[in-house]
Amino acid sequence: MIKMNYDSLCKIITSISDIMTENKDYLVSLDQQNGDGDLGISMSSGYEAVKNYVIASEERDLGKLLMKCSSVFNEAAPSSLGTITAFGFMGMAKALKGKEEATFAECADALDAGLNKIMEKAKSKPGEKTILDALYPAIEVLKNSDGSDKIATLKSAAEAAAEGSENTKNMKSVHGRAAYYAEKSIGTLDGGSVVGKLIFEAIYKCYC
């Protein structure tokens, strides 16, 4: 059975950090199309800082760990997506407060809480060419799982995130610097959505 505890959190965060570092230059090139080109740098720096914090921490309360991850990430990745990611950690932290272990279903609910916190704080929703377009369909897969085959569910979630990211090519940017390009942004892949895709790819790699 897949459960979340301190050890698995370390494993997942390390996997995400590694995949962001591996894709740093690719994310930079995507962001240079409609943004300021710092996406790969901020994401690799943010997740590396969070990884280093979690590995060194003696805290075992998942909620407290994730709440600290929020501030660590925000400080290490001073950017719009850095702030948005920090909101996500904050939402997950509140959902897992007081827990040293969480079930698969509780983790899905925590991710959903993180997603809702992002939408609330960023005043955004799926369909607006952002990271949400990858996160939302992936989390829906997790929430709707019957729990019979969790590895297959994680694979399906990763595939949903990838498809959601790919679909941003058909969308027009409405947030941040990319919004200045408006119609010109149609046909290009959103860098933030690729970050979302990579997150779920990294989670699946931990268990496949």
Residue 38 lies in a domain: yes
In a domain, 10, yes or no: yes
The residue range of the domain holding 131 is 6-207
Domain-located, residue 92: yes
Whether 72 is covered by a domain: the verdict is yes
Q: Report yes or no on 175 lying in a domain.
A: yes
Residue with tokens 């991850």: 69
pLDDT tens string 141-167 = 999 998 789 999 999 999 999 999 999
For residue 196, give the CATH number of its domain: 1.25.40.340
Is 106 a domain residue? yes
User: Would 1 be classed as within a structural domain?
Assistant: no
Read off the pLDDT of residues 70-128 as tens digits, 9 standing for 90 and up: 999 999 999 999 999 999 999 999 999 999 999 999 999 999 999 999 999 999 999 99
The verdict on residue 57 lying in a domain is: yes
* Distance between CA atoms of residues 199 and 19, nearest Å: 8
**From the CB of residue 90, how many other CB atoms can be counted at a distance below 10 Å?**
22
As for how many domains the chain has, the answer is: 1
